[in-house]
């Protein structure tokens, strides 16, 4: 608030009071009209020069960063003196103004010639004919020093109370003017920074009203859409979006306006003036008034069309590369499969050919003839079993394996398999069966085939005097068969190769018979019946294979 001038006016004559009111009104008019700071401060010093006879007034502004004082206004002071004190540093003994700014209190120097605080500035003061100076700090609303108000005389002088109060009143005017100038200067600077950041930004930017209509658009957005500012201002955002995305984008912005969030990110597609689609990464944020009410939305639209195209191209190249590698791997796997199959077929075929030739050329005794026919029959059975297994695997991979489910008793089926394979152990492997009765619906022939393969593997890949345990169990709607053996176990690095056709690992070196299709076929048949097969193994301990099948 501006101090009440009436106490000061009462100390003046009628004419002086009218002059005081007139000068106050002029300063207030300049403040209200937003005049330049120099003009307002000049009016303040001129008013005091008129109201304080024989005085010369000046205002210095404080640079808080460098702690220096700089010219604000001066009436009646010689230019060389104003220049001499320009940029002076504040301090406890820096003349009247420097000391006042340093301490934040009024400093009165009656005689410049006799006061040590003027030692560094006495020469220019004497040259200007100045003998006394008293300084009043100009304080801001927060109590900080904004500058100083100085009153000079050409003779030693002590200000009376009337002069002090008058200067205090006009010091308040100066404080208001300085703070307003700084505030408006900061606002102008902020506005300029915003204008530059908005208009010169490489990203398309727009200010959109809460009704989603453009109120301001920058150059990048205009270029991106191929439209002028006239074409866009007042137009609804949906007009520049792909039609199928208008409602979705409107919903996103409505949620932002009506909700508590201040920012949302989404992707949309704009349509340029030439009809070209522009994929954009959008960022919308709420701009609020000082009272917190939402005013409008700030919208950033980044053109990512080329980035998306590059992403699609990279994905296509990657997919093509993956497909190429898969084709090469499939081709290699096919070659390895045919090589392995050829090897497995060649041995029994050689036996058939050899014994057939022997029977054709020689008149063998009955016992040798019978032995040759037996070998031919075994080799033929081996080939037929191998062909059946290969065909089953092919049907499984093609999803064409025929499954005929029927109700069956699991424990009974396991007993049949154990009895069938008991002779295979040759009394060196002990077979155990355990578990409760369990009924389920499955393909009897396929499940029997799975169990035969698993138990046969457990017997063949075992140690002398080892054991194989076949257990059944029920877990809710799932029937379980677990085949566990006391064999040498399998290392973790070999487990992944167990389910590759004809992969026998080190079985051939250990003299274990087989062709390497048992586990592959067992897992395929189990999955075809809606179950799962899981194998775990620990070197030196043994292997366990668990088959899970739904009971329904």
pLDDT band (50, 70, 90) for residue 109? very high
Cβ count near 188 (within 10 Å):
10
List the CATH code of the domain at 201-303. Answer: 3.30.450.20
- Give pLDDT tens digits for 184-199: 766 767 777 777 778 8
pLDDT tens per residue, range 209-222: 999 999 999 999 99
Class of domain 406-550: alpha beta
Q: Alpha carbon 494 to chain centroid distance? A: 40
Q: Which residue has the higher pLDDT, 151 or 493?
A: 151
Average pLDDT of span 86-106: 92
Averaged pLDDT for residues 73-96? 90
Distance separating alpha carbons of residues 270 and 280, to the nearest angstrom? 7
Top mean pLDDT of 275-289, 345-359, 369-383 is at: 275-289
215 with 209: CB under 8 angstroms? yes
**Taking the domains of the chain in order of start, what are their residue ranges?**
6-191, 201-303, 309-398, 406-550
pLDDT (0 to 100) of residue 336: 59
Predicted pLDDT of residue 502? 47
The correct CATH number of 6-191 out of 3.40.50.300, 3.30.450.40, 3.40.50.970, 3.40.50.1220 is 3.30.450.40
* N- to C-terminal Cα separation, the chain: 90
Cβ(282)–Cβ(299) below 8 Å: yes
Distance CA 545, CA 20 (A): 108
d(CA 339, CA 185): 87
pTM score, two decimals?
Answer: 0.42
Residue 514: the pLDDT is 44
Contact 108, 134 (CB under 8 A): yes
Over 90: is that where the pLDDT of 308 sits? Answer: no
Which fold is adopted by the domain 309-398? Helix Hairpins (1.10.287)
Which tokens is 358 given? Answer: 């022997």
How far apart CA 36 and CA 42 sit, in angstroms, is: 10
Residue 8 confidence (pLDDT) above 70: no
Q: What percent of the chain has pLDDT over 90?
A: 32
Mean pLDDT value across the chain:
82
Q: How confident is the model at residue 403 (pLDDT cuts 50, 70, 90)?
A: confident
Same topology between domain 6-191 and domain 201-303: yes
Q: Which two tokens stand for residue 249?
A: 């984008």
141: exposed, middle or buried (C-beta count within 10 Å: 0-12, 13-18, 19+)? Answer: exposed
Buried b (16+ CB within 10 A) or exposed e, 235-245: eebbebbeeeb
pLDDT above 50: residue 517: yes
- Which pLDDT value is given to residue 425? 66
Say if residue 318's pLDDT is above 70: yes
Q: Over the stretch 19-37, which tens digit does the pLDDT of each residue have?
A: 677 777 887 777 777 778 8
Contact yes or no for 464/428 (Cβ under 8 A): yes
Whether 274 shows a pLDDT value over 70: the answer reads yes
Evaluate if residue 125 carries a pLDDT over 80.
yes
Dist. CA 344–CA 515, nearest whole Å: 7
**Confidence (pLDDT) at 516:** 52
Q: What is the pLDDT of residue 6?
A: 38
């Amino acid at each position: 608030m501006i101090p009440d001038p009436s106490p000061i006016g009462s100390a003046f004559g009628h004419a002086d009071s009218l002059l005081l009111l007139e000068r106050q009104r002029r300063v207030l008019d300049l403040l209200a009209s937003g005049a330049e700071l120099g003009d307002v401060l000049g009016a303040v010093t001129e008013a005091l020069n008129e109201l304080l006879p024989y005085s010369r007034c000046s205002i210095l502004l404080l640079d808080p960063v460098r702690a220096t004082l700089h010219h604000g206004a001066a009436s009646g002071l010689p230019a060389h003196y104003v220049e001499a004190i320009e940029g002076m540093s504040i301090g406890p003994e820096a003349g009247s103004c420097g000391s006042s700014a340093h301490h934040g209190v009024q400093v009165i120097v009656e005689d410049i010639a006799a006061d040590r605080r003027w030692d560094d500035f006495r020469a220019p003061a004497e040259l200007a004919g100045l003998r006394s100076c008293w300084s009043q700090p100009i304080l801001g609303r927060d109590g900080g020093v904004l500058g100083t108000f100085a009153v000079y005389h050409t003779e030693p002088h002590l200000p009376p109370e009337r002069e002090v109060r008058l200067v205090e009143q006009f010091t308040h005017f100066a404080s208001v003017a300085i703070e307003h100038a700084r505030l408006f200067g900061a606002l102008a600077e902020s506005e300029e920074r915003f204008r530059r950041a908005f208009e010169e930004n490489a990203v398309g930017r727009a200010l959109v009203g809460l009704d989603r209509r453009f109120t301001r658009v920058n150059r990048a957005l205009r270029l991106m859409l191929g439209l002028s500012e006239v074409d866009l201002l007042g137009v609804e955002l949906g007009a520049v979006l792909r039609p199928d995305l208008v409602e979705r984008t409107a919903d996103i912005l409505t949620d932002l306006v009506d909700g508590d969030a201040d920012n949302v990110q989404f992707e949309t597609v704009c349509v340029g003036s030439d009809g070209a689609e522009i994929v954009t990464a959008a960022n919308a944020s709420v701009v609020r008034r000082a009272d917190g009410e939402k005013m409008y939305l700030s919208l950033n639209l980044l053109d990512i069309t080329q980035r998306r195209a590059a992403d699609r191209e990279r994905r296509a190249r990657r997919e093509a590369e993956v497909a190429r590698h898969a084709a090469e791997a499939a081709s290699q796997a096919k070659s390895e499969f045919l090589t392995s199959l050829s090897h497995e077929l060649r041995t029994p075929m050689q036996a058939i050919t050899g014994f057939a030739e022997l029977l054709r050329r020689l008149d063998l005794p009955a016992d040798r003839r019978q032995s040759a026919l037996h070998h031919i029959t075994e080799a033929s059975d081996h080939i037929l079993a191998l062909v059946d297994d290969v065909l089953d695997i092919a049907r499984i991979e093609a999803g064409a394996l025929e499954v005929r489910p029927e109700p069956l008793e699991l424990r009974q089926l396991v007993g049949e398999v154990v009895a069938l394979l008991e002779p295979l152990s040759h009394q060196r492997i002990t077979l155990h069966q355990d578990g409760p009765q369990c009924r389920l619906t499955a393909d009897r022939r396929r499940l029997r085939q799975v169990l035969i393969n698993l138990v046969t593997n457990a017997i063949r890949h075992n140690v002398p005097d080892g054991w194989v345990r076949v257990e059944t169990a029920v877990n809710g709607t799932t029937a379980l068969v677990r085949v566990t053996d006391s064999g040498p176990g399998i290392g973790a690095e070999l487990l992944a190769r167990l389910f590759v056709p004809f992969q026998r690992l080190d079985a051939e070196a250990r003299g274990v018979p087989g062709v390497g299709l048992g586990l592959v076929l067992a897992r395929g048949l189990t999955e075809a019946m809606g179950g799962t097969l899981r194998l775990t193994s620990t070197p030196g301990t043994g292997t366990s294979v668990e088959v899970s099948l739904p009971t329904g």
